[in-house]
Chains A and B, each alone.
Chain A
Amino acid sequence: QGVRSVCPSCGAPTLAPQAERALVLELAKQQILEGLRLTSRPRITNPPPQAALTRALRRLRQESVAPATGEEVISFATTTDSSTSTCSSTLTFHLSTLPSRHLYHARLWLHVLPALPGTLYLRIFRWSPRRRRRGSRTLLAEHQMTGPGWHALTLPSSGLRGEESRFLKLQLDCRRLEGNSTNAQQPQWLLDTVGDQRPFLELKIQPNEPGAGRAKRR
């Protein structure tokens, strides 16, 4: 406008609309990065396939009865060294910050293909490369699975904490269940590791209460 209007708060000349818009966008970037406690926007090197993402989010929306407080993380298995003839696989998850002590819910989602023979008895181990002996493993959970499709396997959140490594390795070991005994011969079991139905980990983390640590120490 002809007459330069002034800012009603501080009396300085107001900005031209474009300049104000550019300032607002910069403010928005700062505010979001601060809110997410990031120093810069993440550079996504290997985004999950859109279909896998959509499927995982749809599953979680169906599953989550009450809105979780704090943070929820979905981490897709990036590598497995599964020999497709058996179902002993190692799933690797890249977690920016391995779940802190505030982790309170963990589930491993596996998609079992229709070729599943009868009931599967599955054991899930956490593989830790940093123990005294070369790579030792800790049993996390045992599950029985009958029928193909998605299975959400609960893991003890205490078993996933600690260690500053950014990688979490889970080893799967399964047997076919016949009567009450397990058949030593490993059944044919294919895991979809690269497609839309690759395994993923679902974690829920309590918000870091400011000063909570101090209260606990006191």
Chain B
Amino acid sequence: TLTCEPETPLCCRRDHYVDFQELGWQDWILQPEGYQLNYCSGQCPPHLAGSPGIAASFHSAVFSLLKANNPWPLGTSCCVPTARRPLSLLYLDRNGNVVKTDVPDMVVEACGCS
């Protein structure tokens, strides 16, 4: 997937690493020390509609539909996450118990155009 550079206008993944120490939460989140808070941003012009940032087959299907119906689609295509993974957290709950849990879909791995 495309990782955003400052001047990238097209749909890409913007990476931010968040350290729990920076949040002041290192006293109750034991593991890991931080995580990737990524999000998707950028434009999705018509010729990119349906390009999920990874596989092309879906893109070509949408593209041929666009050509078959009308050259200027009314709807817009948005830059959205197309692949995400869970985050495993080890933390202390309010009673001092240690809880290990997997939070689903926490980290955005790839972005693409809807």
Contact = CB atoms under 8 A, between A and B. Distances in A.
Interface string A9-50: 100000000000100110111011001100001111111100
Interface string B10-33: 100000101000110101111000
B94 interface: yes
Contacts of B103: 32, 35-36
Q: Which 10 pairs of residues, A with B, have the shortest CB-CB distance?
A: A35-B103, A94-B95, A42-B94, A74-B98, A8-B9, A28-B18, A72-B100, A75-B97, A71-B101, A9-B41
A32 B86 CA distance: 12
Given A44-B96, A76-B97, A35 B87 contact: yes
Contacts, number: 102
Contacts of B66: none
Interface string A65-81: 00001111111101000
Interface in A67-104: 69-76, 78, 94-96
A57 interface: yes
B92 A47 contact: yes
A24 B106 contact: no
B46 interface: no
Nearest to A35: B103
24 contacts: A8-B9, A8-B41, A9-B79, A24-B37, A27-B39, A28-B18, A28-B35, A32-B29, A35-B103, A35-B104, A36-B101, A41-B25, A42-B28, A44-B92, A44-B96, A45-B94, A57-B98, A73-B97, A74-B99, A75-B95, A76-B96, A78-B96, A95-B95, A96-B97
Interface of B: 6, 8-10, 16, 18, 22-23, 25, 27-30, 35, 37, 39, 41-43, 79, 87, 89-104, 106
Interface in A113-172: 166
| Interface size classification for chain A | 35 or more
If over half of B's interface residues share one DSSP class (helix, strand or loop), that class is named, otherwise mixed; here it is: strand
A72 B99 contact: yes
Contact of A74 (B42, B43, B97, B101): B97
B93 to A, nearest CB: 5
A112 interface: no
Given A8-B43, A96-B94, A28 B37 contact: yes
Contacts of A75: 95, 97-98
Contact of A71 (B39, B41, B99): B99
A155 to B, nearest CB: 16
A122 B37 CA distance: 49
B37 A27 contact: yes
Contacts of A9: 41-43, 79
A179 to B, nearest CB: 41
Nearest to A68: B100
